[in-house]
Amino acid sequence: MASEPVSFPIVGIGASAGGLEAFRELLRFLPDDAGMAYVLVQHLDPRHASLLPDLLARATRMQVHEAREGMEVCADHVYVMAPNTDMTLSQGALTLLPRTEARGQHLSIDTFLRSLAESRAAGAIGVILSGTAADGTLGLQAIKAEGGMTFAQDPTSAQFAGMPQSAITAGCVDFIGSPKDIARELTRISRHPYVRQSPVAETEEEAAPHVQEFAGREPELQQILRVLRRRTDTDFAVYKPTTLKRRILRRMALSHIESLAQYLTYLSDHQTEVEALYQDVLIGVTSFFRDPSTFQTLAEEILPPLMATKAAGSPLRVWVPGCSTGEEVYSLAICLLECVAKHSLPVPPIQLFGTDLNAKAIAYARTGLYPPGAIGALSPARLDRFFLPVNESYQIRKAVRDLCVFAQHNLLKDPPFSRLDLLSCQNVLIYLGLAAQKKIRTTFHYALAPHGVLLLGPSETIGTTSDLFAPVGEHKRQWYVKKASSARPLVVEDPRRSTRGTVAGEEGNTMAHEEGQREFDLQHETDRLLASFAPASVVIDAQMEILHFRGDTDPYLGPAPGRASLNLFKMARVGLDLALRTAISKASKSGQPVKKEGIQVSDHGVHRDIAVEVIPVKASATERYFVILFEEARALSTPPTVPLASDERPQGAARPSCGR
């Protein structure tokens, strides 16, 4: 990232159809001395000279320029992209590029906003006005990821709502309003110290000047983290302090708040702000085939030997923790399918698990639907083979989506997947403290199968766990193979968590909520129960959806073919469905634990005699959950002698294993 002095904010404004009038209105309500520069990127006819500079000059007293190569950007000036070009920002100057198109669409707004994010970081501001399609969405995502601020025109006030609505739907917009409202908000934040600073320091240890606001304020910072932990069930104390401080200050600027004490009070009183800060800290940056050289190594040197050594019918298992909106998971799926075809290998069952702490990102990933700018790195052949056009966007074909299971997951608390052939965790550890990094790497060692491969980001290493991993060949920076070790990690829950709710009809230990309310903490109640049990287990809700996994549930549950589902009965192994239904029904009616033994279950040709116990967990008068414990009695060398009746045959026959 280029080094720039403490400077003024630069506002990148994207507009298309209907955007001219919106931008003129924006200019009419912007003062000419706010100390910001404004760069308009408009979809223009490449065959005609632009009349925009003259038209816009009538709406403002600021000087309006048509962009020229190398033109330095100055505060309180307006710059308009020239026709038949793309434009970027580098070290405070504009660079003009030959016009390019991606999949037949000109994505000039994304191009500029991404360069603005990289160049200005927290001093970057993105605004999307009226226009069709989705240009600008990825640019706003990049700005927000770098700590900048993002705005979109209220679709109801836009002549064409496509562009602002796309950005809003993607969840990357901080402020939504009319051009007049946006102008007033830009004016308000223009003098805030957060946006008038150096770009982000190259290392977390180099605190940016604005972070000094936290000097001597650690108690208030810890209180903010406690509010986050209590409201979101996530302990951010393990994150690097500088990252947290930047995100908190960003939210303070957007919330019109100057001091930490004021922000703490505001945070305690507004759940919506807690969610906004939570989403800010969890900002994920990803893209399809993000690092082409990494995927080339994967396709040519990692996957062929992994696939060649798989036994017939044995699944190839891949986990991507911190998957954000899913692009990396789908890129791996594409790479796997291409490798199978290229090397004429037997097609193994393929299981890809994408997890993230951010539930909104996981919901987005499950759709497999991406705007045109997101698929710019894909070749036409890949696009045709693996995607379908859907309403000016592109969706991963169902056959590929069916290989991928997405779930919310906390790396530091929740049990990992097991027997993995490949584990890709890129650019997650860099946000965490050293102790948390070590714990996660130890967990990864446990999760990998013998000779399983670990992929880290280019700025990440195995650190102090060199006894657990060895570099793969010459690729010492990112690729590692699991070493044999007797160490097995323990997944330990936060002991500070309070116990709430009632179990199996009995009153549990309760603790008053800090605001005087009583909340049911399902996660903690489950942990309290399972502290007394060794077997693998799951927690389900009243709709039979699995909420939590504990231990190795692979012998009992596995993903069903077709659309990804966490429904208990769809995942149950052959022979287990009926017993589960009966036990859950009895436990629900009686409010007491129900145990069933002597259940014969089939898993990859091995037949087991197991027991299940269903324990009802009462959250409230109307809300109930169930903890289901699995315990194996013995393995059977021959299949069960009594066949299942046709109307009792489970839905989960012949499914690949889950191993959650």
Task: Write the CATH number for 446.
Answer: 3.40.50.150
Residue 476 domain flag: yes
Going by DSSP bridges, is the β-strand pair 393-396/369-370 parallel, antiparallel, or unpaired? Answer: antiparallel
Task: Find out whether 588 and 552 touch, Cβ atoms under 8 Å.
Answer: no
Angle at 272 between CA 267 and CA 276, to 5 degrees: 85
Annotation says 135 is catalytic? yes
Burial of 560 (0-12, 13-18, 19+ CB in 10 A): buried
pLDDT at 150: 97
Residue 287 domain flag: no
How far apart are alpha carbons 255 and 266 in whole angstroms?
9
Query: pLDDT (tens digit, 9 = 90+) per residue, 545-578?
Result: 888 777 778 888 887 766 667 889 888 887 888 8
Torsional sign, CA 248, 251, 253, 255: negative
Task: Find out whether 606 and 515 touch, Cβ atoms under 8 Å.
Answer: no
Given a cut of 80, whether residue 332 has pLDDT beyond it is yes
Query: pLDDT (tens digit, 9 = 90+) per residue, 51-91?
Result: 788 889 999 999 999 999 999 999 999 999 998 889 999 99
How far apart are alpha carbons 89 and 91 in whole angstroms?
7
Active-site residue (options: 43, 210, 409, 445)? 43
How far apart are alpha carbons 278 and 228 in whole angstroms?
7
**Do 249 and 312 belong together in one domain?**
no
Q: Which residue has the higher pLDDT, 98 or 619?
A: 98
Q: Which residue has the higher pLDDT, 568 or 414?
A: 568
**Do 450 and 591 belong together in one domain?**
no
Average pLDDT of the chain to the nearest whole number:
81
Given a cut of 60, whether residue 524 has pLDDT beyond it is no
Query: pLDDT (tens digit, 9 = 90+) per residue, 365-407?
Result: 999 999 887 887 788 899 999 999 998 789 999 999 989 989 8
User: What average pLDDT does this structure show over 332-353?
Assistant: 87
**Do 402 and 544 belong together in one domain?**
no
Query: pLDDT (tens digit, 9 = 90+) per residue, 300-315?
Result: 999 998 888 888 778 8
How far apart are alpha carbons 195 and 183 in whole angstroms?
16
Burial of 88 (0-12, 13-18, 19+ CB in 10 A): middle
Query: Which position has the token pair 């110290």?
Result: 193
Active-site residue (options: 76, 86, 110, 135)? 135
**pLDDT confidence band for 604 (50 / 70 / 90):** low
Active-site residue (options: 16, 119, 157, 166)? 16
Residue 3 domain flag: no
Query: pLDDT (tens digit, 9 = 90+) per residue, 639-653?
Result: 333 333 333 333 333
For the CA atoms of 613, 618, 621, 624, the dihedral, rounded to the nearest 10 degrees, stands at -60
Residue 334 domain flag: yes
**pLDDT confidence band for 496 (50 / 70 / 90):** very low
Measure the N-to-C terminal CA separation of the chain; round to a whole number of Å.
Answer: 39
Torsional sign, CA 250, 427, 170, 96: positive
pLDDT at 426: 92
**Do 55 and 164 belong together in one domain?**
yes
78, two tokens = 């307006």
Q: Where are the beta strands (DSSP E) in 185-280?
A: none
pLDDT at 49: 55
pLDDT at 392: 77
Given a cut of 50, whether residue 11 has pLDDT beyond it is yes
Residue 387 domain flag: yes
pTM above 0.85, yes or no: no
Query: pLDDT (tens digit, 9 = 90+) per residue, 193-252?
Result: 888 764 444 344 444 444 555 555 678 888 999 999 999 888 898 898 888 888 999 999
Task: Name every residue whose Cβ is closer than 8 Å to that of residue 210 and which is 6 or more positions away in sequence.
Answer: 122, 193, 194, 197, 246, 249
pLDDT at 519: 42
Residue 657 domain flag: no
**Do 314 and 254 belong together in one domain?**
no
Residue 14 domain flag: yes
Task: Find out whether 78 and 63 touch, Cβ atoms under 8 Å.
Answer: yes
Annotation says 270 is catalytic? no
Going by DSSP bridges, is the β-strand pair 350-356/404-408 parallel, antiparallel, or unpaired? Answer: parallel
Q: Which residue has the higher pLDDT, 104 or 347?
A: 347
pLDDT at 525: 53
**Do 265 and 386 belong together in one domain?**
no
**Do 368 and 516 belong together in one domain?**
no
Query: pLDDT (tens digit, 9 = 90+) per residue, 116-131?
Result: 999 998 899 999 999 9
Residue 83: give the domain boundaries. Answer: 10-189
**Do 151 and 17 belong together in one domain?**
yes
Structural domains of the chain, count? 4
Q: Where are the beta strands (DSSP E) in 103-238?
A: 124-128, 149-153, 175-177
Query: pLDDT (tens digit, 9 = 90+) per residue, 128-179?
Result: 999 988 889 989 999 998 999 999 999 999 999 999 998 998 888 999 999 9
**Do 140 and 114 belong together in one domain?**
yes
Residue 204 domain flag: no
**Do 474 and 529 belong together in one domain?**
no
How far apart are alpha carbons 502 and 617 in whole angstroms?
7
Going by DSSP bridges, is the β-strand pair 85-90/93-98 parallel, antiparallel, or unpaired? Answer: antiparallel
pLDDT at 506: 33
User: What average pLDDT does this structure show over 17-29?
Assistant: 94
User: What average pLDDT does this structure show over 331-349?
Assistant: 87
**Do 356 and 472 belong together in one domain?**
yes
Task: Write the CATH number for 608.
Answer: 3.30.450.20
**Do 72 and 124 belong together in one domain?**
yes
